[in-house]
Amino acid sequence: MGLPAIIDRYLTRQIGLTLLGTTLALLAIILSHRLANYLSKAANGLLARDSIFQLLILQMADLLVMLIPLAFLLSIMLTLGRLYRDHEMAALAACGYGPLSVYRAVFLLATPLALFTAGLALFLTPLVMELQFEALAKARKEAEVSMFTPGAFREVLNGRHVVYIGALDDQELRNVFIQSREPDGRISITTGDQGRQAMGEDGVRYIVLDHGYRYRGAPGRGDYEMVRFERAMVRVDSEPPPQPWQHRETLPLGRLWGSTEPSNIAELQMRLNSPIQVLVIALWAPLLARARPREGRYGRIIAAVLIYAIDFNLIGVGRSWLSHGVVGPKLGLWWVHGLFLLFGFGLLLHHYSGAGRWWRFRRLSRPGITT
């Protein structure tokens, strides 16, 4: 085994180990945030507690597709940046391992990583997302039963309503009392002999009361209004209903491929986004990681994250334009990838502009050539 192959394996292993650690760290951060959100929903009676762990597991595939490009960028910046600061890259260049050879090592990892990400995004994630939406609907349904405890007061809709039920008989609510804060500062009290929880056409959960009274007025004043009703509905969900685009994430590749609907085209190109990002990052990240010996440790990493943030936001804009028909499928999201390809080639020309420097770039890339 020659020296270039050994160094390729060394660089690939170092970037790969950093990629694994960075991915796990980012995944833990996102999952901890989701866990806090689910615990808050469970405390408010919007989700069944037993389903939280299952929902977190089902989100991992989708999160991996989203996090792999960023983790790959950070792994390149951390690994190559350390090698440049410690003069190891200068020593490798003296042995004939030039910048083009660094690209070879980076793409040895980037190519299978892009294929792995494409497999996740195109085939596994739609199946997992379908299971996730089913589990979420089941958790919301189970929470309908466990949301209210007989004989206890409970706040819903971020404290707007205080609900009390006297008894629970096979999902039928008995002797219901609801105190509500009105937008104009008044208080309303709604009572009913019986009621139930129901899901409206808009996907929002309500308490439906039968045969009761509603009292409205301002505290300290005697002009309360009383209304007798046969049926009344009180909203108890604080979450908006699921958006239609969420269910497009469950569509198989066969239904998206060849579709002329703008939303389906946007979904397909979004699934291809992360694999393409990995390959584009492999072009410009090694050049950005070329730190000087006494340069700060995190300056270039912050710059790389800011560049990735611009890419991420432009992808969001492009997706919105594509799904609303502002741009056609031929332009789609490709203009964003094209911009960052140009950015990578611009960095390449900036570092190796001029015939002499380009000749040196090629010369240092040949094994066995020293300076």
- Categorize the per-residue pLDDT at 359 as very low, low, confident or very high, splitting at 50, 70 and 90: very low
Averaged pLDDT, 280-302: 84
**Contact (Cβ atoms closer than 8 angstroms) between residue 287 and residue 344:** yes
Q: Report which of residues 297 and 278 the model is more confident about.
A: 278
Separation CA 114–CA 126 (nearest Å): 18
pLDDT average, residue stretch 2-13: 82
Q: DSSP letter string over 214-270? A: EEEE-TT-S--EEEEEEEEEEE---SPPPPHHHHHTT--HHHHTT---HHHHHHHHH
For residue 164, with 0-12 CB atoms within 10 Å meaning exposed, 13-18 middle and 19 or more buried, which class applies? middle
Cα gap 349→338, rounded to integer Å: 16
Arithmetic mean of pLDDT, 88-116:
84
Higher-pLDDT residue of 51 and 309 is 309
pLDDT at 241: 52
Mean pLDDT of 287-300: 77
Half-sphere exposure of 19 (CA within 13 A, CB side): 21
CA–CA distance from 95 to each of 3, 161, 310, 371 (Å)? 9, 73, 37, 8
Q: Closest Cα to residue 157, out of 49, 39, 33, 46? A: 46
State residue 180 phi and psi, 5-degree precision.
-130, 145
pLDDT of residue 1: 53
pLDDT at 201: 66
CA distance 253 to 238: 34
Q: Which residue has the tokens 């994430």?
A: 249
Q: What is the pTM of this model?
A: 0.75
Q: Is the pLDDT of residue 341 over 90?
A: yes
Whether pLDDT at 310 is above 90: yes
Contact 31, 124 (CB under 8 A): no
In the chain, the percentage of residues whose pLDDT exceeds 70 is: 85
> In terms of pLDDT, which residue wins out, 108 or 97?
108
pLDDT band at 100 (very low <50, low <70, confident <90, very high): confident
**Which region holds residue 204: left if phi is over 0, alpha if psi is between -120 and 50, else beta?**
beta
pLDDT band of 355, cuts 50, 70, 90: very low
DSSP states of 159-198 as a string? Answer: TTEEEEEEEEETTEEEEEEEEEE-TTS-EEEEEEEEEEEE
CA geometry: angle 136, 138, 140, nearest 5 deg: 70
Q: Is the pLDDT of residue 96 over 90?
A: no
